[in-house]
Amino acid sequence: MEPRTGLAAFARSSTVRLVSAIAAVFLLAFVGVGVAVRSTASTYIERRILDTLETDAAGLEAVWREGGTAALVRAIERRRGETGADGLARMRLAVGPDGEKLAGDFAAWPNDLDGASDRIRFETTDGGAYAGVVRRIAGGPDLLVAHAVAEHAAVMRALDRDLLMPMIVALMAALAVTALVGRRLLARIERVNLVARRVEAGDLAARVDAAGADEFGRLATHVDAMLERIAILMRGVHHLSDHIAHEMRTPLARLRARLEAARRIAEATPAAAPLLPALDEAVAESSELISVFSALLDIARTEAAAGDARGLAVVDLAEVAAMVVDLYEAAAEDRGIRLALATVSAPVVGERMLLMRMAANLVDNAVKFSPDGAVVDVGVEATATQCRLVVRDRGPGVPEGFEARAFERFTRAETVGATPGHGLGLALVGAIALRHGMKIALERADPGLRVVATGARATT
């Protein structure tokens, strides 16, 4: 899988989402505190204003009791347009027992205040909204002291502006923390992912080499220890298979030579003529065993060279495919099979002979398992970043679920029947693909099988 980089990786990272969630929780908590502060401040300011209005109304009552109606009217007129310590303008009204206006800022006593409680909210006929207190004096006038709700709303808007700036700062801080911490964590995780991709491409020497005593440092240490253990085991397996192949191939070669010598003697001796079929079969079996061990040795050597850039050069897959088709065309024509070649220039970095062996194995399998008179498609495709070798046959295909085991040694599908083979061809193809950092995919073609080898396009 290609690594995701830039904003795409940043946006899809679970680490970034976790950091963002934590930052969002703190931000929401800050907003919640801000809302609570605003609500508390609004309630407190409103209560203090009403307390002040009650004090004002009590003062007007005291003026009336001391100086009567005339003194009350003078006091109200003198205070007209006056603002309190909170900066809000006071609106006053006094009406006599008969409901007639004595003095004040309102034209008449609001109709919706009849029988109202001491602390009230009301609207006037001109659409103004007010909040205030009512003081009813037994045997005397009714007093109303109020303030415009719009002025209180203006005070709250000013408070909102004062609270908004810290919230914006908190939001910017949350975004900055998400970006900085997220990028740092993502970079440390991507370092492990990079090593995993290198190992997947065959570089078993790749290591994270990350220092630190935190969880990422311990993860890097464990990953490096695991990779070192895998490398040791793989070296042991490669050494063992190499040793076995070398040790077995030599005595098998000597055995075949002796069998061939015995056959020549039997061929020259009339009395031993009945032994010739058995000797021919023994020679063929020994040759097949030698080819199996040679294939195993080739697979081991190719896998061991994975990740090693030595011996690699720019090779055009189109040229490789054309040479392989020329090589197999005569054998295919014997069975009436047509090799259809369609290529475009597709430069990759690789070893020409190994790429030819990979293509040859794929074409050989396609010809081997295709019915007589069928068509085998051999194609080379290329994009700006990738090159693909595609071989498609019209044979029986592979059973469901076999794709995962197809590249294992000595693995053959049940559909191959009595077709000769040992199940090492695709294993060698897989080893060559690993050597070149390529991906091999088996796809159902209905009918047949489509094998796709995908590698990175070489930069020229």
Give the model confidence (pLDDT) of 226-259 as tens digits: 888 887 877 776 677 667 666 777 787 888 888 8
Specify the domain boundaries for CATH 1.10.287 within the chain: 215-304
* Mean pLDDT to the nearest integer, 372-388: 93
Looking at the predicted structure, is the pLDDT value of residue 115 above 60? no
| pTM metric for this prediction | 0.52
Looking at the predicted structure, is the pLDDT value of residue 2 above 60? no
Choose from 17-21, 129-133, 179-183 the range with maximum mean pLDDT: 129-133
How crowded is residue 188: how many other Cβ atoms within 10 Å of its Cβ? 19
Residue-by-residue DSSP string for 282-297: HHHHHHHHHHHHHHHH
Higher pLDDT pick, 120 / 367: 367
* Mean pLDDT to the nearest integer, 381-385: 93
Looking at the predicted structure, is the pLDDT value of residue 213 above 50? yes
pLDDT attached to residue 53: 86
For domain 215-304, the question of CATH label 1.10.3470 is answered with no
**pLDDT band of 272, cuts 50, 70, 90:** confident
**pLDDT band of 306, cuts 50, 70, 90:** low
Strands 375-382 and 338-343, bridge-based pairing: parallel
pLDDT attached to residue 397: 81
d(CA 440, CA 429): 8
Strands 142-148 and 91-95, bridge-based pairing: antiparallel
Cα 20 to chain centroid, rounded: 15
Give the model confidence (pLDDT) of 68-78 as tens digits: 889 988 998 88
- Per DSSP, the three-state class of 448 is coil
Specify the domain boundaries for CATH 3.30.565.10 within the chain: 313-456
Give the model confidence (pLDDT) of 94-105 as tens digits: 888 887 888 888
Structural tokens at position 21: 């969630």
d(CA 357, CA 433): 11
d(CA 319, CA 346): 9
Q: What is the CATH number of domain 313-456?
A: 3.30.565.10
* Residues 6 or more apart whose Cβ sits within 8 Å of residue 223: 192, 195, 208
Look at the block and give the residue holding tokens 């189109």. 318
* Residues 6 or more apart whose Cβ sits within 8 Å of residue 211: 217
